[in-house]
Amino acid sequence: MSDDSHDHVMGYGVVIATTDKALLVKLTDQHADQQFWVPRSVIHDDSEIEEDAAEGEEGELVVALWWAEKEGYA
């Protein structure tokens, strides 16, 4: 995905847990203390928290817009 109209910036966060298919991310900015599971498959190429991130990695999380809308984040 390279078209910005198809991505959504969730904010700055840290990965606190992982599974084969998802990352548990805790946002630390405007959604302080909000945690949620993000499927690895919806993480955008421009995201600082990448699809293959490990626990403890930090950065801006960018996801597919359709997923953010479906989950009520956009």
Cβ atoms 36, 42 nearer than 8 A: no
- Prediction pTM value: 0.87
Per-residue pLDDT tens over the stretch 12-68: 999 999 999 999 999 987 656 789 999 999 999 999 999 999 999 999 999 999 999
Specify the pLDDT at position 23: 98
User: How many CA atoms within 13 Å lie on the side-chain side of 58?
Assistant: 4
pLDDT band for 5, please (50, 70, 90 cuts).
confident
Give the pLDDT confidence score for residue 74 in this predicted structure. 85
Rounded CA separation 6/35 (Å):
23
